[in-house]
Amino acid sequence: MLLGAHTIGNGGIPMAARRAGRSGMQALQIFSAVPKYYNDKVGVKPERVARFTEALAEAGIKPEHVIVHAAYVLNCGTPDSEKWARAAGGLAKEFERSTTLGVGGVCFHPGAATDGDRDAAIERIAEAMRRALAAVPEGTTRLLLENTAGAGTTVGRTPEEVAAILAGIPKSQRARTGYGLDTCHLFASGFPIATSRAEQKRVLDAFEDATGEPPAFFHLNDSEGALGSNRDRHMRIGEGLIGADAFGWLLHDKRTKNIPLIMETPQQNPEIADDDDTPDAWDVDSIALLRTLTEHSATT
């Protein structure tokens, strides 16, 4: 079980890796640049790669078990051609930085069809992915879509939409792409993952059947919003409306084995000093809870 979190990045990504290691995590998520900007001109210097790689090794975390989360501002579905060009450029740079860092994957929110034409948005997202793949011709890092909470005109909510985007990737490049599922987004967008083990399995089956593959990562987030509320508000595991039992079912599904399982949940001390690698107490508690749920027998 590769449990991890998007640990606090104060002091830079080597510090995020140290905090994860000290929290007993085997996986990690980071930003490769400030996520509120496009960062379409930002590269990664070799010294930064070296320091990060060294910190990961000390933490006992394999680079392939690290996910980079792309900037939130990238909307590769927008019908505005100027904005699209910047978003596509930003995505290609995210992919380049992630590949340079040697991580397993970079995940991104597909975007929104602000004019209501979802099919056109799906095509534009696929085009942005094709450009990113062409801009970074080699590497083991994968470009991964994340399902959305379904607010507004965002696309990538359903198995069909995720599959339709991935269907736009040429066969020769398809293995360099994939998708991940966020439990809060699934629940908020109306998928009954907390109703019963069988219902939850049907949801995961639907994504696997539509795309032809299992997810490449999970985001383990409990949800403040109700089923189908479309609210993207993460809560600590067991403290939201999904509840600990549903996470227990998920951890017993074979699709959560050997892929990064990343919490993006509130932390106790987000203002931690840059040079302080003390693990966050809430992250540590949640990792312990998830371990307990993993060890619990799968009877219910």
Pick the stretch among 23-31, 97-105, 152-160, 216-224 that binds Zn ion (CB under 5 A).
216-224
Among 39, 42, 37, 34, CA closest to 13? 34
For the bound state, the minimum distance from the C-beta of residue 183 to Zn ion, rounded and expressed in Å, comes to: 9
> CA end-to-end span of the chain, whole Å?
20
Find the binder of Zn ion among 86, 124, 219, 236 (CB under 5 A). 219
Smaller CB distance to Zn ion: residue 96 or 182?
A: 182
Q: What is the DSSP letter of 12?
A: -
- DSSP H stretches of helix in the chain: 13-22, 46-59, 81-101, 118-135, 159-167, 171-174, 183-188, 197-211, 244-251, 281-295
Smaller CB distance to Zn ion: residue 124 or 185?
A: 185
For the bound state, the minimum distance from the C-beta of residue 281 to Zn ion, rounded and expressed in Å, comes to: 22
Smaller CB distance to Zn ion: residue 5 or 59?
A: 5
- 222 near Zn ion (CB under 5 A): no
Pick the stretch among 46-54, 192-200, 214-222, 267-275 that binds Zn ion (CB under 5 A).
214-222
Task: Write out the DSSP string of 71-137.
Answer: PTT--TT-S-HHHHHHHHHHHHHHHHHHHHHT-SEEEE---B-TTS-HHHHHHHHHHHHHHHHHHS-
**How many residues lie near Zn ion (CB under 5 A)?**
3
For the bound state, the minimum distance from the C-beta of residue 52 to Zn ion, rounded and expressed in Å, comes to: 21
Task: Write the interaction track for Zn ion spanning residues 60-99; mark x where CB under 5 A is met and - where it is not.
Answer: ----------------------------------------
Among 78, 68, 289, 101, CA closest to 180? 68
User: What residues contact 85, with CB distance under 8 A and at least 6 apart?
Assistant: none
Find the binder of Zn ion among 96, 232, 280, 283 (CB under 5 A). 232
According to CB under 5 A, which residues from 145 to 184 bind Zn ion? 182
Smaller CB distance to Zn ion: residue 157 or 219?
A: 219
Please report, as a single letter, which amino acid is at residue 82: E
For the bound state, the minimum distance from the C-beta of residue 138 to Zn ion, rounded and expressed in Å, comes to: 27
Smaller CB distance to Zn ion: residue 232 or 280?
A: 232
Longest pairwise C-alpha distance within the chain: 54
Task: Write the interaction track for Zn ion spanning residues 182-201; mark x where CB under 5 A is met and - where it is not.
Answer: x-------------------
Among 230, 225, 228, 239, CA closest to 282? 239
Count of helix runs (H) and strand runs (E) in the chain: 10, 10
For residue 271, what are its two tokens? 């203002």
Pick the stretch among 45-53, 131-139, 198-206, 228-236 that binds Zn ion (CB under 5 A).
228-236
Which residues of this protein are in contact with Zn ion, per CB under 5 A? 182, 219, 232
